[in-house]
Amino acid sequence: MAYEIEQRFEHIGTEILEASRNALYINMRYLDVALSGLAWEMTTDISRIGTDGLRLLYEPHYLADLYRKHPMLVNRCIFILFFIVCSGIFCALVQRIRNDGIWPVMWQWNR
């Protein structure tokens, strides 16, 4: 019985996140590949929605309540978390470029 309830929550969470992702696709078509690269996972270890850089983690009760109250907030949460992940990756790449000594060469080439 508990397994069936967990499966149902996971199915509902997946439907909510797919609907939000599709809404973001419509408004931001250029992010389709990047948005589909962020997988989601149901967990009760957190109390809201978060990310570890590879997955979007969500607590099913919070996600369902948030979607029921205002579906646009789920879209914003996904976009903000996606932005945080992309910013972190970009900052890590810039830091690596600076550390490897490629940055001055790229800077001079672009002038």
Sheet with 49-51, side-by-side order of all strands: 39-42, 55-58, 49-51
Give the model confidence (pLDDT) of 33-75 as tens digits.
777 777 888 888 888 888 777 788 889 999 999 999 988 888 8
Q: b/e for 79-98, b at 16 or more Cβ within 10 A?
A: bebbeebeeeeeeeeeeeee
Percent of the chain clearing pLDDT 70 (strictly above): 83
Query: Is this model's pTM higher than 0.95 or not?
Result: no
CA diameter of the chain: 65
- Write down the pLDDT at residue 107: 47
User: Is the pLDDT score of 111 beyond 60?
Assistant: no
**20: phi then psi, degrees, rounded to nearest 5:** -70, -40
- Write down the pLDDT at residue 106: 45
Among 66, 19, 68, smallest CA distance to 40 is for: 19
